[in-house]
Structure 1
């Protein structure tokens, strides 16, 4: 056994701004934090005495980075070690008997960091780092450990993957917030999935991944690399060997965690017995042979309750046949859903193991025009013993996702004491401490995903919503202004405008975040200006000329918001749940009243939607239609659509319109042409079939020139359910 290591040094400068005790909190919330009234000045000189067990991990380097300068003869001592190390033998009985737990004690002449394991010691140092941000060190004891064994993030969204720089910042964030898992699985990485999963990464991409792996190790994060082979896998020796070769190439880059994803696929790759056979082979011939690899993870094809065919036996086959140590992912009752005890009581017996939760929040790949910046709430607080892991699927906006990820770290560490609102406010302050008030206002009004195919909604504009409702009700029902509500809403509009400008002009504080959210900030300011002008309209409703000025300005702001939205492919929406609907309703009510009072003919419509979608295909029924000039697109779905025989998707027009073309992508042009029929009607009764012709790759297209269209429908005319994608449905007006 090596000798216990003695280091000498002095506390150096801290990068974190000092905090007063009144606003201080530890993140994530510790299991037990006991402080005395007394505190001690942060010592200028110290000695570090470290145990053998922390010599090779990141705990000791992190501690030394907090105390970078050496000074001989210091009397203040810092002890760090892991259970079994002699240096902390005196404190062995205080260490939690939990994986990744630690005991931290601050006395007048020493600091003790005693971990249940190396990662526990590392987390003890992270807690000390937070305490060192105070003006003085409190005399305190922290006894701490995580509720959930594996906590972190799966980069598993559709759309633009994160940049290298964003991933590096993420990994540092995970370390600070005691998250221990990062799963690399971006859907748009061609070497992660079809067609190139069999091929090694090119040298440049491989080196970038190696940098990330090393950064993960520095932050005590397990870097998982996931492969997504299911869409074209062949269940033979050749593909099995190619998969292991790919894993070996990743192992050589330093990866020590592996996952296999079979989500969002159809066809041969969905067979449970074949998936189990492959995963067991990987587990037996790779994971167990290497001996330094984390547990293997499977993302199944039936990964949520709404898709589960219990009688079909998919999940029970996995439960029966998979090796015991293999983890199986689960998203809950739906693709996008909060996690509660009932969903775990349903799936755990089928899998014969605790589910590995893949939580689809704050991911926004199904609502790319929205930001999801609100509190993390709705998950059970009594399920810590019912899951093996909890990882969050974030937005493509890496920095903005940290508001939610901060709270996910807090929730998975200490469920019983988790408070969603408090954690959210702390997250906002952590992200932009100098402009936290502005960011909180922005986040409070940008949290609901809007109408979407998953029917998943979130609270938004919570504090001002009662005033919005009261103002609108009084004006619509009594033609009166609720003065108290008016004052509150006017003040909120002022705050919105100031917050948007303040964040846009915030300088270098978290520049990556401002770059990500800039389009929404511009729209957000316009929402505030529009709301303020609408308030002027209802105040000036009896003043003929003054009203016109406010009316024209409000209309101009609607045009500007439309232009901001149109500049971006996915669009930009802000304040869409309560702010904009209320302002639009007030605009229409005020204009209608003005027209009646002065016999005018002003356009009363603030928002006009000429198209309505209906479908008896459950996964399509709630998809919104996006308008961009003359081009109209049904927001695509990222999952496999189970389109029943005879199932219909219908789009109704406000009146018969002249359309030029339709573009459809169901993932397979032959299936779209042979199993589906596109029909149009000009009168709602007599339907006419339209020829579908091959387009680009998997697309089909139809020309509608010279046709007047009141309704259009796509029908599964086969006698069987079709498993298809819904990548595109776009129609263009003349």
Structure 2
């Protein structure tokens, strides 16, 4: 009953503060009691705090709000302190009994902020800053605290690491939104992974120091992660190499550390050795210094789908790892939302609360999409089952803030979290000058499209009924769809010329350009669909408006199809690592393509014309008994056909195959693939299915002993085939990367 009454109090308090200044605060506070009285925010104030708070980062944050601080008493007073400070002693019973919690009272004469600890005080200052954002304050009291102890982000994606400036901006963003963790673990940092034993060069070490200092100023734990698993030897020498590297990072001022063994195979993946190493580091490094955060381990088996029979690896970690060492977990699969049942499952095996590595909005496995949609699907009842929760964002740091804003909201106050409301607030926060345009554009950039992890998101929800109707061939939907196309075009134009957040627009630009093409394509298609509905069967009628004929709009639609195709392969437009540019692929584009096909077929039937029905076409399909490769996307640009890479370790059972089939014969000009290790050519057999139904073997080779790329024999060139099949003929299970697979055709 007590829990119910508390929940009711919180909800009613928030309702009273709705559409007022508290509504501007992210994350949504736990308990708010408001009179609804608004008053002008002060232009100056005096600050009262105990002497030991004078160097506090919370007071520094207060000065950054931009209000003049007067040495003498002002008509508006801000009183700050932590439980135990004289300045807030009479409020100590009102401060929540939670780490990082705070109590806040706001009135026309002043503000009191009392934190349970230093970080709680800092978060109270952030709440004040957000309340004042539009020049007013609200008479209210707030009692607030986080549901999840550790909340933040991990720079753990594959691809171009964030720039130093982006990292600083991210850390500032985390502080403003009450997230307390940033894990530095970019896969492409050689001193994190490939050259983990080596010290950073002086200039790079100074940059890490700067990040760590900024993190402290924002109440953020800066975790530096090391990834020794690729080539670690379980010897005293390598054990000491790892500790020595951590000592060097400690010397830079860093006090939080993680050790990663993800996405590897072989000797480095032994669970008992990993536990032994982490326990040793805990003894001789963490406990020695006394001011180091608990270690974080990212295990080799970091999701349920890989756990295997008996979950031996996970039980080994649970049994042998010392209590206090945190274990990271991505959920039921590599990319998955997190729910109660799954947390119970992993916590039982590792004998501690799991620390979630949430692979969203990361897009390193769908590089032709940018993910700007709502963050939803995680359980609202799992706060007590987590030790921490961090998001793995995209290489697009600014665009990732849409999701990160909502995750901060979710992890702070889980039960009332509303994904759509939080998403709209995130967009307003990121680009207030053009928030409506960004919301329209973002709604076409939610779903991931087909991908190897099978993780999908809803998209363009408001268009579902209309697009469903269009997919049935209903041409009467054309007028409404054209209105949405015009809205998308307008949004793209407004965003491309926005100057208020150049960081964001630079990231979005390829998709904005493609969005404009998509909108124009939809306008052309809906116009020709309406011509058919109106019975204008003369395809080339030119009276009055010559370019509004079916023929002109058909050719315009075909021209825009080509422009969209060409843009996807334009290296002058694409970002580094980007493989294409897709948006609106779940509903809007399929609906427009359907209208194009139906309208063209009807015109041909009515007028005896022979217009070709061409929309998007995918002649290649995958057939395989390697589960991790079944859903890999296939892309075609000109004569080059690529299967999307996978950044996890792929398990090839004995005799397993990967087959790429085509619906018509194609003539090959070249082919190669990369499984991440030299010498793998001898483990596989390549065969091509000839048009006469026979399979022909093709030689596989490496150019030298260090070459990871598998090349084909000369007999492949000029061969016409219906399918390509690669088979594991080694007689043993193989665990390998799948870094690239491509061929060139006529």
Could you tell me the TM-score, scaled by structure 1's length? 0.94
1: CA distance, partners of 2:628 / 2:64: 52
Q: Secondary structure at 2:383's aligned position in 1?
A: coil
Q: Deviations over 1:608-646 (max 9, x none)?
A: 222111111100001011111111110000000011111
Q: Given the superposition, is the C-alpha separation of residues 666 and 37 from structure 1 closer, same or farther in structure 2, using an over 3 Å criterion?
A: closer
Check the 8 A contact 1:92/1:114 in 2, yes or no.
yes
2:514 is the counterpart of 1:504: no
**What is the match of residue 530 of structure 1?**
521
**What is the match of residue 724 of structure 1?**
736
2: CA distance, partners of 1:288 / 1:488: 65
Name structure 2 gaps, 5 residues minimum. Answer: 1-17, 541-548
| Match among 585, 604, 617 for residue 576 of structure 1 | 585
**What is the match of residue 566 of structure 1?**
569
Q: Deviations over 1:5-55 (max 9, x none)?
A: xxxxxxxxxxxxxx9838943100000111113344333443211135534
Mapping 1:139-538, distance limit 5 Å: 139-194=139-194, 196-311=195-310, 313-475=312-474, 481-482=475-476, 485-506=477-498, 508-538=499-529
**What is the match of residue 122 of structure 2?**
122
Q: Secondary structure at 2:64's aligned position in 1?
A: helix
Per the TM alignment, residue 654 of structure 1 is displaced from its structure 2 partner at its CA by 2.1
Per the TM alignment, residue 423 of structure 1 is displaced from its structure 2 partner at its CA by 0.1
Check the 8 A contact 2:473/2:594 in 1, yes or no.
no
Check the 8 A contact 1:20/1:135 in 2, yes or no.
no
4+ runs deviating over 6 angstroms: none
**What is the match of residue 56 of structure 2?**
57
Per the TM alignment, residue 656 of structure 1 is displaced from its structure 2 partner at its CA by 1.8
| Match among 633, 647, 654 for residue 663 of structure 2 | 654
After alignment, is 303-312 or 252-261 more displaced? 303-312
Q: Secondary structure at 1:204's aligned position in 2?
A: helix
2:620 is the counterpart of 1:611: yes
Q: Deviations over 1:248-267 (max 9, x none)?
A: 11111121110000000000
**What is the match of residue 5 of structure 2?**
none
Per the TM alignment, residue 111 of structure 1 is displaced from its structure 2 partner at its CA by 1.1
Check the 8 A contact 1:684/1:711 in 2, yes or no.
no
2: CA distance, partners of 1:68 / 1:528: 49
Per the TM alignment, residue 207 of structure 1 is displaced from its structure 2 partner at its CA by 1.1
Q: Secondary structure at 2:302's aligned position in 1?
A: coil
2: CA distance, partners of 1:487 / 1:142: 49
2: CA distance, partners of 1:693 / 1:58: 60
Q: Given the superposition, is the C-alpha separation of residues 53 and 389 from structure 1 closer, same or farther in structure 2, using an over 3 Å criterion?
A: farther
Q: Secondary structure at 2:724's aligned position in 1?
A: strand
Q: Secondary structure at 2:445's aligned position in 1?
A: coil
Per the TM alignment, residue 65 of structure 1 is displaced from its structure 2 partner at its CA by 2.7
Q: Secondary structure at 2:472's aligned position in 1?
A: helix
Check the 8 A contact 2:21/2:137 in 1, yes or no.
no
1: CA distance, partners of 2:480 / 2:473: 14
2:717 is the counterpart of 1:709: no
Per the TM alignment, residue 460 of structure 1 is displaced from its structure 2 partner at its CA by 0.6
1: CA distance, partners of 2:501 / 2:312: 49
How many aligned positions are there?
A: 706
Per the TM alignment, residue 295 of structure 1 is displaced from its structure 2 partner at its CA by 1.3
Per the TM alignment, residue 73 of structure 1 is displaced from its structure 2 partner at its CA by 3.4
Per the TM alignment, residue 685 of structure 1 is displaced from its structure 2 partner at its CA by 3.3
Mapping 1:58-137, distance limit 5 Å: 58-66=57-65, 67-137=67-137
**What is the match of residue 5 of structure 1?**
none
Q: Given the superposition, is the C-alpha separation of residues 273 and 23 from structure 1 closer, same or farther in structure 2, using an over 3 Å criterion?
A: closer
Q: Given the superposition, is the C-alpha separation of residues 624 and 474 from structure 1 closer, same or farther in structure 2, using an over 3 Å criterion?
A: closer
Check the 8 A contact 2:22/2:138 in 1, yes or no.
no
Check the 8 A contact 1:192/1:227 in 2, yes or no.
yes
Per the TM alignment, residue 706 of structure 1 is displaced from its structure 2 partner at its CA by 3.4
Q: Given the superposition, is the C-alpha separation of residues 548 and 340 from structure 1 closer, same or farther in structure 2, using an over 3 Å criterion?
A: same
Q: Secondary structure at 1:669's aligned position in 2?
A: coil
1: CA distance, partners of 2:137 / 2:246: 47
Per the TM alignment, residue 110 of structure 1 is displaced from its structure 2 partner at its CA by 2.5
Check the 8 A contact 2:21/2:131 in 1, yes or no.
no
After alignment, is 386-395 or 694-703 more displaced? 694-703
Name structure 1 gaps, 5 residues minimum. Answer: 1-18, 476-480
Check the 8 A contact 1:639/1:725 in 2, yes or no.
yes
Q: Secondary structure at 1:313's aligned position in 2?
A: helix
1: CA distance, partners of 2:418 / 2:435: 19
Check the 8 A contact 2:20/2:138 in 1, yes or no.
no
Check the 8 A contact 1:645/1:718 in 2, yes or no.
yes
Q: CA RMSD in A?
A: 1.6
Per the TM alignment, residue 284 of structure 1 is displaced from its structure 2 partner at its CA by 1.1
Q: Given the superposition, is the C-alpha separation of residues 544 and 134 from structure 1 closer, same or farther in structure 2, using an over 3 Å criterion?
A: closer
Q: Deviations over 1:142-199 (max 9, x none)?
A: 10000000000000000000011111110110000000000000111111002x1000
**What is the match of residue 9 of structure 1?**
none
2:630 is the counterpart of 1:621: yes
Per the TM alignment, residue 707 of structure 1 is displaced from its structure 2 partner at its CA by 1.7
Q: Deviations over 1:564-614 (max 9, x none)?
A: 111135111111111111111111111122222222222111122221111
